[in-house]
Amino acid sequence: MLDVTEIRKDFPILHRQVNGQPLVYLDNAATSQTPRQVIDTIVDYYSRYNANIHRGVHTLSQEATDAYEQARIKIQKHFGAANTREIIMTSGTTEGINLVAQGFTGFLETGDEIWVSAMEHHSNIVPWQMLCERTGARLRVIPMNEEGVLVLEPFKEGLSDRTKLVFCNHVSNALGTVNPIEEIIQTAHSAGAAVLIDGAQAAPHMRADMQKLDVDFYTVSAHKLCGPTGAGALYGKEEWLKKLPPYQGGGEMISEVTFEKTTYAALPHKFEAGTPNICGGIAFGAALDYLNGIGMDQIAAYEAELLSYATESLLAIEGLKIYGQAARKTSVISFNLEGVHPYDVGTLLDKMGIAVRTGHHCAQPVMDFYKIPGTIRASFSFYNTREEVDRLAQGVEKARQMLS
């Protein structure tokens, strides 16, 4: 079992006070906290070898390039990609999705169909709506049920040779449901459609293997994985990435430029125009090292235990309802108190030093499904403790008494 007391020593921020109370940080699904090892990597980069990459002949540039490309290898290994040509460094999940959505513009025509799940984050709905507007393709939705589980039958029945793309998150940010992406990928492939999986919420809790999944695209953000904001990665099967046109024009992504014609750089640089977030990419690699040092299986086992303890503790509170009761869930609990606005509970919890997220979690269709304005979402990480769960439960009970 992982030693949470030791682990917490790695995270300076977990030792601060908020509103006079020791911080209880339960907004990990929005962003994770950063361990000393990653902070040190960032400081080291700017203190020792900050330079632009891929073009300098001088030592600093070479060191920065090596470190950046080393990070790409770490990402490739962590996610089980066949080679580094399949790893595009991005600013985060949203950019990865937009890169693919933009790239598919020329491949779609009126009457084609794109499927998305009913529990997508807005970042995985809006780019496809825009793609549909550009191409005349139609957006179709894989529905969900009351437990917060996708219902695949309408999707299976609705598939045809017009189905070109399928998008789904691996884990729902609003509910924590782990979606049956293996089945979705196989089903989509049987109809000849490509699949993009948004792995932002899954990556902190489990290791997804690109080759085993046989997924076409998979996208993640570093800041949910103990890394910095503004960094992330898009996995794409090499055959797809070769077919897709470049996303943005600029330096780094070219091979030769004349005013008559430009030839593009080879993968992965074809999709990496301009100076990237060099430090962010390197720190992303350090964050993966940190997580792997603890072990993703250890993390998953610890979080599963914490989730069941928290679920039990919260359900003991009068009038508390949990949204998303899937059998396979990550350590996320979305809930409401009967007759109480989530915003009120979030405000009072903050006064008690407890950080949770309130609102629609950028997943308005999910809130509309349950006919609620939003939820309170407590999301747990491997550095959270049972004592913190107790503080949450006590805080929610106190809020309930004050608000009812």
| Of 114, 160, 103, nearest in space to 137 by CA | 114
Give the per-residue contact string, 281-320, with other proteins (x = CB under 8 A; - = no): ----------------------------------------
DSSP letters, 175-228, are T-BB--HHHHHHHHHHTT-EEEEE-TTTTTTS---HHHHT-SEEEEEGGGTTS-
Stretch that binds other proteins, among 86-94, 201-209, 229-237, 343-351 (CB under 8 A): 343-351
From the list 36-44, 92-100, 239-247, 344-352, the region that binds other proteins by CB under 8 A is 344-352
Q: Among 132, 168, 226, 362, which one carries the catalytic annotation?
A: 362
Instruction: Based on the shown chain and the rule CB under 8 A, indicate whether residue 140 belongs to the binding site for other proteins.
Output: no
d(CA 342, CA 396): 11
Q: Under the criterion CB under 8 A, does residue 254 sit at the interface with other proteins? A: no
Buried b (16+ CB within 10 A) or exposed e, 97-128: bbbbbbbbeebbeeebbbbbbbbbbbbbbbbb
Q: Which stretch binds other proteins (CB under 8 A): 108-116, 125-133, 294-302, 337-345?
A: 337-345
Residues ≥6 apart with Cβ < 8 Å to 344: 399, 403
Residue count, binding to other proteins (CB under 8 A): 14
Q: Does 395 bind other proteins (CB under 8 A)?
A: no
Residue 378, strand partner residues: 333
Cβ-count burial 304-324 (b if 16+ within 10 Å, e if not): eebbeebbebbeebeebbbbb
Query: What's the chain's length in residues?
Result: 404
C-alpha atoms less than 13 angstroms from C-alpha of 235 in its C-beta half-sphere: 30
Does residue 128 contact residue 116 with C-beta atoms inside 8 Å?
Answer: yes
Q: Is 358 in the site for other proteins (CB under 8 A)?
A: yes
Cα–Cα distance measured from residue 44 to residue 30, given in angstroms and rounded to the nearest whole number: 26
Per the annotation, the verdict on 168 as an active-site residue is: no
Pairing verdict, β 194-198 and 163-169: parallel
User: How many angstroms separate the Cα of 255 from the Cα of each of 34, 194, 269?
Assistant: 37, 28, 10
359 binds other proteins (CB under 8 A): yes
**According to the binding rule CB under 8 A, does residue 347 interact with other proteins?**
yes
Taking CB under 8 A as the rule, does residue 351 contact other proteins? Answer: yes
343 is an interface residue for other proteins by CB under 8 A: yes
Nearest approach in angstroms of CB 50 to other proteins is 31
Q: Which of 122, 140, 243, 341 is close enough to bind other proteins by CB under 8 A? A: 341
Note whether 402 binds other proteins by CB under 8 A. Answer: yes
Contact call for residue 368 and other proteins (CB under 8 A): no
Asked if residue 93 binds other proteins (CB under 8 A), the reply is no
248 binds other proteins (CB under 8 A): no
Phi, psi of 33 (to 5 degrees): -85, 165
Q: How far is the CB of 19 from other proteins (least distance, A)?
A: 7
> Which member of 35, 280, 374, 395 binds other proteins (CB under 8 A)?
374
Q: Considering only CA atoms, which of 169, 206, 110, 174 is closest in space to residue 335? A: 174
Choice between 151 and 402, CB closer to other proteins: 402
Q: Which span sits near other proteins by CB under 8 A: 3-11, 67-75, 339-347, 362-370?
A: 339-347
Considering only 24, 185, 210, 340, the residue that binds other proteins (CB under 8 A) is: 340
Residue 365, H or E segment: helix 364-370
Q: Which stretch binds other proteins (CB under 8 A): 75-83, 304-312, 317-325, 336-344?
A: 336-344
Query: Is residue 379 within the footprint of other proteins (CB under 8 A)?
Result: no
Cα 95 from chain centre: 12
Instruction: Return the range that interacts with other proteins (CB under 8 A); candidates 156-164, 187-195, 230-238, 351-359.
Output: 351-359
Give the three-state DSSP class for 22.
strand
**Which residues 9-48 are close enough to bind other proteins by CB under 8 A?**
19
Residue 246 is a binding residue for other proteins (CB under 8 A): no
**What is the contact surface with other proteins in residues (CB under 8 A)?**
19, 340-341, 343-344, 347-348, 351, 358-359, 373-374, 402-403
Q: Which residues are catalytic?
A: 362
